[in-house]
Amino acid sequence: MTDLQTLSATELQAVISKAEKALKNIQINKRKEVITQIKDLAASIGVTVDIHEGDKKIVRKGNKVAIKYRDPNNAQNTWTGRGVMPIWLRDLLNSGRDRSEFQV
């Protein structure tokens, strides 16, 4: 085995890449073996097995919520009306202004 301390960064990266590829191939082959064993075992007792490969969890993205309120002093400050009321809006309302003044 190679002494890793004597290798350059490029050589180490090459070793890592080869190791990752080898590991992936081993995992793929092991998975195929196990699937074959499962199907053989199921067939021996008269059961059919359908293995879905590549089933992944669906990731849902939240929808963007439209802006309902905008700070007249700083257009960067906005609020959708959800969650905790921002300080800028709370301060304006406490000074006697109406929420409808800031609606977009």
Question: Helix, strand or coil for residue 103?
Answer: strand
Residue spans of the domains in the chain: they are 7-44, 69-102
The residue among 57, 58, 53, 80 whose CA lies nearest residue 68 is 80
With helix as H, strand as E and coil as C, how does 60-99 read?
Answer: CCCCCCCCCEECCCCCCCEECCCCCCCHHHHHHHHCCCCH
pLDDT recorded at residue 89: 93
Mean pLDDT for back-to-back runs of 10 residues, the chain (104 residues): 82 93 95 92 90 73 89 92 93 92 89
- Amino acid letter, 50: D
pTM for the structure as a whole? 0.47
pLDDT recorded at residue 66: 92
pLDDT recorded at residue 13: 92
